[in-house]
Amino acid sequence: MSTKAVIGWLVVAVVLGIGVIFALRGPNTAGGASGPAVGSLVLNLSPSAVRSIAINPLNERADTLTRADNAAGDWLLRLGDASRPTDWPVPGRTVDGLLLALSEARSVAAAPKAPDLGEKPTIAALTLADGTTLTLRFAQRSLGGTGPVQIESGAGTSFAIVDDRLHQMVRDRNIRQWRDRTAMPWARADASRIRLENKDRAIAFGRIGNRWSLREPVQAPADGPAVQRLLGTLAEAQIVEFVDETPGPGVNTGLDAPNARVLVEIDRPEGAPIRHTLDIGAAADARGERMFALIDGQRTVKIDARNLGQTMDAAAYLWPHPTAVAQPDVGMIVIERLDASRVPEDGRVFKRSLDRWIEIREGSEEPVVEQELREVDEALAFLTGAGAPRPQARLTEPEAYRPGARVSLRDIGGQPLESVEVGVSGVSALAVVRTGPVYREYPLDRLPRLIDRVMRSSPLVTPPARGEQPEADPNK
């Protein structure tokens, strides 16, 4: 055999060998023009770069998620087929979960060049920070826990087979269920003002620093923990149904003339306060447990209102002690009996001196005996709430109320801090301490002895015996 013939047969053998190798390798599993390689990432996506996500079945208006401009990382959902444009808050962690799943999705099998996506694939269009768009078409049906997806980007079109959990997340408008079901997420600790109103009454609170005060129906110090519990009750109110379509003519929502309203304002270091409202309308079920509600004048929902009816008693939020003065701030205590005309007289003045109390009498200072020292400390603890019993507070004068003494707390320089009136209720036989418009009732035996003696010496509390008249004061 000639040399040329040998070389020719060698060439043929090499070609046949290469063909055998490709035949033995079988189908291409390393990817190619039709999609990513098996086991590799499907998308080159940074979740933080996504600014909006529009999701819709084919030929339908998209529901759009847009990043909210707040530090919490929330998103806003606008429904494509709603009767009016409304932005629904969506917790950021939910949308971030979808974006993370997309960025970590891997090809689980080689994709055909043109897989069948069905007649109604779900389309997700992601708008990125650089203005580009990434469009994903998820197949209408999946099989065996996997499903095809078509990917369109600036680089072209490709296909991948992925875990069908991605399909389940976006299919059938599931993102509508991601909406925040908290009716009043803004009712939280950084609230600055709260107002509750119904057709009969209104309650309003304001906060300066860490101190809450009642501003309606009266102005008085408020119990901070009670206001925080109120905020907790409001924040726990749950949305049980989203009302996306305008209710029919036969449905009375009661929102044109709400039965109640909750208003919360939050101050900001810069700019105007943030204002939120919840209007509560008519009952949405026969038992009255669900109510129609309108959030911020925009979003109509049905809420579980079973706990909201317990919030309209203003007396439940009053400061629980006669004064809101801190005990170390008190430098003087003045206790005066009230005469028959409720005019203070016969005052006793106690003043701090170093580590003990002294009594000022006719311009001179006299030491207080040991027994009265304990009584002065007892009176101060009662008035400032240090170990005092929690009273029953009310905003109306008790029946047959008779005042007998006035007690003033002053600082060391004699400037007034707070003044209270002390008396009794002739009907309930309770001691009554009035601070401005607030009346607090105590068992008589819980009234400090020093204050009790002065109060009982008043003719308003202990009238003179029959036929006996109090001496007239020539100076009056």
pLDDT, tens digit only, all 476 positions of the chain: 555 554 554 444 544 444 433 333 434 333 444 678 899 999 989 999 999 999 986 667 889 999 988 767 789 999 988 777 889 999 999 999 999 999 999 999 888 888 888 888 899 999 999 999 999 999 988 888 899 999 998 888 999 999 988 888 888 778 888 999 999 988 887 899 999 998 888 999 999 988 999 999 999 999 999 999 999 989 999 999 999 888 878 889 999 999 999 999 999 888 889 999 999 999 998 888 899 999 999 999 999 988 776 677 888 899 999 999 999 999 999 999 999 999 998 889 999 987 789 999 887 888 888 888 999 999 999 999 876 778 889 999 999 999 999 999 999 999 999 999 999 998 888 999 999 999 999 999 999 999 999 999 999 998 877 655 555 444 44
Residue 292: its pLDDT value, please? 95
Q: Is the residue at 99 inside a domain?
A: yes
377 three-class SS: helix
Tokens of 223: 């119990």
**How many structural domains are present in the chain?**
3
Same domain, 309 and 380: no
What b/e sequence results for 135-170 when a residue is b if at least 16 CB atoms lie within 10 Å of its CB, and e otherwise? Answer: ebbbbbebeeebbbbbbebeeeebbbbbbbebbebb
- Indicate if 253 and 308 belong to the same structural domain: yes
Are residues 78 and 144 located together in one domain of the fold?
Answer: yes
pTM: 0.77
Q: What is the pLDDT of residue 449?
A: 93
What is the DSSP secondary structure assignment for residue 306, as one 8-state letter? T
Q: Which is nearest to 152 in space by CA: 167, 135, 166, 139? A: 135
The pLDDT value recorded for residue 179 is: 92
Co-location of 331 and 451 in the same domain = yes
Distances from the Cα of 430 to the Cα of 295, 424, 433, 447, 448, angstroms:
45, 6, 10, 10, 13
Q: Is residue 466 part of a domain?
A: no
Q: Per the domain annotation, does 417 fall within a domain? A: yes
* Positive/negative CA dihedral, 112, 118, 122, 125: positive
| Vertex 121: Cα angle to 117 and 123 (nearest 5) | 125
Asked if 317 contacts 380 with a C-beta cutoff of 8 angstroms, the reply is no
Do 344 and 312 belong to one domain?
no
Gap between the Cα atoms of 209 and 54, Å rounded: 43
Same domain? For 171 and 87 the reply is yes
**One domain, residues 243 and 168:** no
Do 208 and 311 share a structural domain?
A: yes
pLDDT at site 33: 46
Domain containing 411 equals 327-456
Q: Does residue 475 lie in a domain region?
A: no
| 60 and 168 co-located in one domain | yes
Task: Give pLDDT, residue 258.
Answer: 92
Whether 19 is covered by a domain: the verdict is: no
E strand spans, 243-391: 260-266, 274-283, 290-295, 299-304, 332-338, 344-353, 356-361, 364-367
Domain presence at residue 218: yes
Residues with Cβ < 8 Å from 105, sequence gap 6 or more? 41, 42, 43, 160, 162, 163, 166
- Looking at the domain assignment, is residue 187 inside a domain? no
Residue 133 lies in a domain: yes
| Residue at which a domain ends, from 146, 178, 210 | 178
Residues 172, 202: one domain?
no
- 307 and 344 share a domain? no
pLDDT given for residue 277 in this prediction: 95
Q: Which helix (H) or strand (E) holds 454?
A: helix 449-456
- Clarify whether residues 148 and 235 are in a common domain: no
